[in-house]
Structures are given as C-alpha cells and as structure tokens.
Amino acid sequence: GEDVEQSLFLSVREGDSSVINCTYTDSSSTYLYWYKQEPGAGLQLLTYIFSNMDMKQDQRLTVLLNKKDKHLSLRIADTQTGDSAIYFCAETPQDSSYKLIFGSGTRLLVRP
Amino acid sequence: DADVTQTPRNRITKTGKRIMLECSQTKGHDRMYWYRQDPGLGLRLIYYSFDVKDINKGEISDGYSVSRQAQAKFSLSLESAIPNQTALYFCATSSAATYEQYFGPGTRLTVT
C-alpha cells in the first residue's frame, strides 16, 4: 500500500540549514510535494518535484529525490524564525491524478 | 481576498447534532476536496468532487456526507456528530490540468 513517513520534530538554530526527510513506499509516484502549515493556517504548497528529476532548487529551498531509496528531502538554507512550521511531504500515485498521500508532518522549530 | 474560504473557522457542537461545514473558492477550479487532520497524522481524504455531478468517497467517508451546490461551493455534513470526529477539517481545490491542490484555512471542530 501507499505510505509516507516523516520524523516528527526538528530543531535548528537561526541561520543554519534545515533538512527535513521523508520516505515513501509507492515506487510509481508521479509527483512529490512539500507543503508548509503555519499555526492556524491551511497548507501552503512550497515546492514539488516530478519523479524523473533528482533535484530541484527554488531560492532557499532544495529538494532532493532518491528514487532508488524512495527518499525525499527538503533543505532550507539560512533558516529563519519565520520558517518555524509543520512541513508535510506528500505524493501522488501513478494511478491517480487527484490523490495526495500525506506524511504525518515534521514540526520545525527555529531557535534564535 | 483568500482564494479558498471555509466557514465556520471554529465550531463546538454536541454529540448527535447535525453540522455543516462550508467551502467556497474563487479559483475557478473544477475539483474540490474535503480532508481531515488529526494530531500527529497527515491529512486524510473524506470526499472529493471532480465537478458538480461527480462526487466520490475518499478513504474515511463513513459518518460524513457532502453536497456540491455549484462549481465554487462544496459543503461537508456530519449527520450525527460523535466525539471522534473532533479534528481540523480542510477544503482544497485543484484544476484538472495540474496536480497542485490549494487549501483553505481549515475549520476546527470539537464534538463534546
């Protein structure tokens, strides 16, 4: 079955890099996503990567995809206190154009 | 103005009561979704609709019903609320052309 797993918590110091990791089981995933949820708000799409890509960079964000190990990571450079939030990894299975399978979320705490 | 709005934002109700959560969108998307988020868990899909006449059950539809009143409106009903339906509920929309889903701010529902 489809499953997405993430560690629950990460704490970093302001200015350091953060790396949030995710593993998934569906080797036929088409797209993989990172969503950010701030307190009291809905989920905001941060970035996504198509399954035939290894890396995608967007300003301070770098997404790495290792299809062999079914591992996805999100690196945030120069982490700021405003980056404190819950980050969700999600995937779209190949047999579905609408379905999103979410991980349980990683809470990122940025210490001043 | 927000593209996806949900009302109410917070609701406390008693066991056995009927309650409706509403979602409206101005993005012009055909597809709309209802998700539920529980602490420490990712989002789980309750119902989805590809257009006004196409409504489908998600992975956890028991105890819920939906109505797609118009392209822009999708409501979720709990016919007889029970305490384990206490959760954060999110509405989302997407177009058929992309995989991206856009989320509303959520409704926090407490059933006592």
Q: Return the pLDDT at B1.
A: 55
Tens of pLDDT, residue by residue over A63-110, are 999 999 999 999 999 999 999 999 999 998 877 767 888 999 999 999
Mean pLDDT across the stretch B67-82?
96
Q: Considering all CA atoms of chain B, what is the largest pairwise distance in Å, rounded to the nearest integer? A: 41
pLDDT at A43 over 80: yes
Distance from CA of A101 to the nearest CA of B (A): 8
Q: What is the pLDDT of chain B when averaged over all its residues?
A: 93
Distance from CA of A102 to the nearest CA of B (A): 5
Which residue in chain B has the smallest CA separation from A32?
A: B99
Token pair in block for residue A101:
């399978």
CA distances from A85 to A8, A75, B91, B94 (A): 12, 14, 20, 23
Token pair in block for residue B13:
């109700």
CB B54 within 8 Å of CB B30: no
- Considering only CB atoms, B90 lies closest to which of A30, A42, A98, namely A42
d(CA A87, CA A34): 7
| Percent of chain A whose pLDDT exceeds 90 | 71
Q: Which residue has the higher pLDDT, A3 or A2?
A: A3
Q: Are the beta carbons of B43 and A98 separated by less than 8 Å?
A: no
pLDDT at A27 over 90: no
Q: Return the pLDDT at A92.
A: 87
Q: Return the pLDDT at A1.
A: 56
CA distances from B8 to A36, B52, B80 (A): 22, 22, 18
Tens of pLDDT, residue by residue over B31-51, are 999 999 998 788 999 999 999
Q: Which residue has the higher pLDDT, A39 or B84?
A: B84
d(CA A47, CA B103): 14
Instruction: Tell me if residue A82 falls in helix, strand or coil.
Output: helix
Instruction: Tell me if residue B83 falls in helix, strand or coil.
Output: helix
Q: Return the pLDDT at A30.
A: 81
Residue closest to B106 by CA, chosen among A38, A6, A27, A71: A38
Q: Is A67 left (phi over 0), alpha (psi -120 to 50) or beta?
A: alpha
| Candidate from A1-10, B6-15, B45-54, B74-83 with smallest mean pLDDT | A1-10
Q: Are the beta carbons of A92 and B41 separated by less than 8 Å?
A: no
Q: Are the beta carbons of A42 and B31 separated by less than 8 Å?
A: no
pLDDT at B91 over 80: yes
Q: Return the pLDDT at A60.
A: 96
Q: What angle do CA B3, B4, B7 make, to 5 degrees?
A: 135
| DSSP code for A27 | T
CB B58 within 8 Å of CB B48: yes
Strand partners, A36: A44, A87
Which one of B101, B102, B108 makes the best mutation probe of the A interface by having the most chain A beta carbons within 10 Å? B101
